[in-house]
Amino acid sequence: MIFDTHVHYDDSAFDEDRDELISSLPENGIGGFVNVCADYASIEPVLEIAKKYDYAYAALGIHPSDVEDMDEKKLENIEKLIKKRGSRVVAVGEIGLDYHYPEPFRAIQKKWFVEQIELALRVNKPVIIHSRDAAEDTQFTLDRYDFRELGGIVHCFSYSAALALHYVKRGFYIGIGGVITFKNARKLKEVVSMVPLESIVLETDCPYLAPEPYRGQRNSSLYLPWILRTVANLKGVSEEMVERVTTENAKRLYRID
């Protein structure tokens, strides 16, 4: 069974068939997933999905593109919910920095990135890191902390193999999704080739970033086999090994029995 470490099944793209799709996952070889919060409004839907399915888990945190309206009261409420829901909330995320657009201002993003890392430390949960066009500031922030005990994923990794190996040494897993199947993903293919399989987890980030041959369509965990197959080919190992090791990695990180 494959484990999807990063989904957004609360997204409106799944409004018409959410229950049908999620219910079909186990029979299609998907043994579990973590539904990751993006903005404050998505917290309750994310928690409801984790409550409804015993193979679904939640991550609570605010995406860097949505931190402009964050305040201490909201942060306190997220912390209370994480503590209240216990083992159903397995991570703080997705959090980080996104400089692709000019807003929110970088200073605001940095503030709430640090605040949410500190939250993760308080509740003893791993972090799910979003970083786009912000390699230097993300590394500078993360290097201030020791994640070898806490753990985390650098989600949808898009930087160099050297930086990936740096994060592995710092206690992170590297999240590999549909982009690895794209013909122009030379840099990411190099990352997968160089990073040990024991430090890789699989993700879809659905409904976004569907792999080939579904690129441009709505993504779902059902497309994980295409990602898994590409990783296996790049590593020169069997698909069964990639499935077993990446699932073990995910469960170890998220502390799922």
Domain edges within the chain: 2-254
The radius of gyration of the chain's CA atoms, rounded to the nearest angstrom, is 17
Sign of CA dihedral 19, 22, 23, 28: positive
* pLDDT number for residue 85: 86
Mean pLDDT of 182-210: 97
* pLDDT number for residue 199: 98
What is the pLDDT of the chain when averaged over all its residues? 97
Are 14 and 214 contacting, i.e. CB atoms less than 8 angstroms apart?
no
Mean pLDDT of 177-200: 97
- Distance between CA 8 and CA 200 in Å, rounded? 20
Mean pLDDT of 233-237: 98
* pLDDT number for residue 257: 84
Burial class (CB in 10 A: 0-12, 13-18, 19+), 136: exposed
Are 30 and 53 contacting, i.e. CB atoms less than 8 angstroms apart?
no
Q: What is the pLDDT of residues 105-127, one digit of tens each?
A: 999 999 999 999 999 999 999 99
Q: How much of the chain, in percent, has pLDDT values that exceed 70? A: 100
Band (pLDDT 50/70/90 cuts) for residue 204 is very high
Q: Is the pLDDT of residue 86 over 90?
A: no
* pLDDT number for residue 214: 97
Q: Is the pLDDT of residue 69 over 90?
A: yes
In terms of CATH, what superfamily is 2-254?
Metal-dependent hydrolases (3.20.20.140)
Q: Is the pLDDT of residue 11 over 90?
A: yes
* pLDDT number for residue 83: 95
Q: Is the pLDDT of residue 177 over 90?
A: yes
What are residue 92's DSSP bridge partners?
A: 60, 127
Collapsing DSSP states into helix, strand and coil, what is residue 123?
A: helix
